[in-house]
């Protein structure tokens, strides 16, 4: 079992427009509405890849039936914590050129009792899990140190913990030394304090995270692929050119593929291959944050993986 703490559930709305021109009236050409948020995207892709998964997140009265039905259809055990406010809404607007503009809503300010209910659901849910994933933004009302505390809680119970967050939540989580973190190019640049624009900089960033006690750091670099490090060295993976229809959520599907590979004890190079193929599979579809297993498997041979640094040159920190 893999447990996903994707607390800040959203309603994703994907809209196709001819063009996006500020100040003008626009007519929608295509519109899709899905349950969303990073946790939903990660969990449903893990299930699609064939692993048992449960998701802990917010739900409101208006959208409970929609979310319960979709998660049931996708094979995800959803543990929804009811909130009085309305879930956040996230818009992805794509014009005829393929340019996507995202607008991410804030969501409700949680009461103290709602915050406690989320954390209690998490604590009750991880005992049967082999992997724990903390991902996405935190709902308003939870502090930036929450993920760090949950990393420590999972470690005390012998669980490997993966974190995909940003800003202060990611910084505090790194200090807690999770098993794996997955910053993107912008997030790792913020953490280091200087731009990470090429593979050499990504390699150095991954090694720096290893030196801070993260067993398996992964840095995603957009079109440049992804770089990851462990005791076997530093590896780079990059997919071939594909027709991109909707890239929103590809990083979430990448994380899902990587988590599945860890669950199956695959070596780092093969974990990166599965992760990159999962992200590519999402980008080829209209839906935000979902990768079909058949699509992922068809893309695996097109992912090129190479070692950037040999084991003796990589930091030797043991997984905690």
Query: How many Cβ atoms are within 10 Å of 148's Cβ, its own excluded?
Result: 23
C-alpha pair distances (Å), 155 with each of 131, 158, 249, 255, 280: 11, 5, 28, 20, 32
What SS3 string covers 202-213? HHHHHHHHHHCC
Q: 68 catalytic, yes or no?
A: no
Rounded Cα distance, 299 and 239, in Å? 8
Which residues are 53's β-sheet partners?
2
Look-up of token digits 């447990």: 3
Query: Looking at 12, 60, 230, 252, which residue is catalytic?
Result: 252
3 state DSSP class of 220: strand
Look-up of token digits 């930036």: 144
In 37-179, DSSP assigns E strands to 53-59, 77-82, 88-94, 100-104, 131-135, 160-164
In the chain, where the domains are located: 2-18+30-313
- pTM of the predicted model as reported, rounded to 2 decimal places: 0.90
Superfamily for 2-18+30-313? Ribokinase (3.40.1190.20)
The tens place of each residue's pLDDT in the chain, 320 residues long, gives 999 999 999 999 988 898 888 888 888 988 888 899 999 999 999 999 999 999 999 999 999 999 999 999 999 999 999 999 899 999 888 888 888 898 988 889 999 999 999 999 999 988 889 999 999 999 999 999 999 999 999 999 999 999 999 999 999 999 999 999 999 999 999 998 999 999 999 999 999 999 999 999 999 998 899 999 999 999 999 998 888 787 888 999 999 999 999 999 999 999 999 999 999 999 988 788 899 999 999 999 999 999 988 885 544 443 33
Phi–psi pair at 74, nearest 5 degrees = -90, 0
Question: DSSP letter at 224?
Answer: G
- Neighbouring residues of 54: CB distance < 8 A, sequence distance ≥ 6: 1, 2, 3, 4, 43, 76, 77, 78, 79, 125, 129
The H or E element containing residue 180 is: strand 180-181
3 state DSSP class of 62: coil
């Amino acid at each position: 079992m893999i447990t996903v703490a994707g607390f800040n559930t959203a309603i994703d709305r994907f809209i196709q427009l001819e063009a996006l021109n500020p100040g003008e009236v626009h007519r929608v050409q295509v519109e899709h509405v899905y349950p969303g948020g990073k946790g939903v995207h990660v969990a449903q892709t893990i299930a699609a890849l064939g692993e048992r998964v449960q998701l802990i997140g917010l739900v409101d009265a208006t959208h409970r039936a929609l979310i319960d039905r979709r998660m049931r259809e996708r094979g995800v055990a959803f543990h929804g914590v009811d909130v009085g406010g309305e879930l956040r809404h996230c818009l992805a607007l794509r014009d005829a050129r393929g340019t996507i503009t995202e607008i991410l809503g804030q969501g409700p300010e949680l009461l103290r009792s709602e915050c406690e209910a989320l954390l209690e659901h998490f604590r009750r849910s991880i005992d049967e899990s082999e992997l724990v994933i903390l991902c996405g933004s935190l709902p308003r009302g939870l502090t930036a140190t929450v993920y760090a505390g949950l990393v420590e809680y999972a470690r005390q119970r012998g669980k490997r913990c993966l974190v995909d967050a940003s800003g202060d939540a990611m910084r505090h989580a790194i200090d807690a030394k999770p098993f794996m973190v997955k910053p993107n190019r912008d997030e790792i640049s913020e953490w280091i304090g200087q731009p990470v624009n090429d593979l050499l900089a990504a390699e150095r960033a991954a090694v720096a995270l290893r030196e801070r006690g993260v067993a398996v750091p992964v840095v995603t670099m957009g079109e440049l692929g992804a770089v990851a490090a462990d005791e076997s060295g530093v590896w780079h993976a990059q997919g071939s050119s594909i027709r991109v229809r909707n890239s929103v959520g590809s990083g979430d599907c990448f994380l899902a593929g990587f988590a599945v590979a860890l669950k199956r004890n695959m070596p780092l190079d093969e974990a990166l291959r599965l992760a990159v193929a999962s992200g590519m599979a999402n980008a080829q579809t209209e839906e935000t944050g979902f990768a079909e297993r058949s699509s992922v498997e068809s893309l695996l041979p097109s992912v090129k993986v190479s070692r950037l640094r040999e084991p003796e040159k990589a930091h030797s920190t043991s997984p905690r």
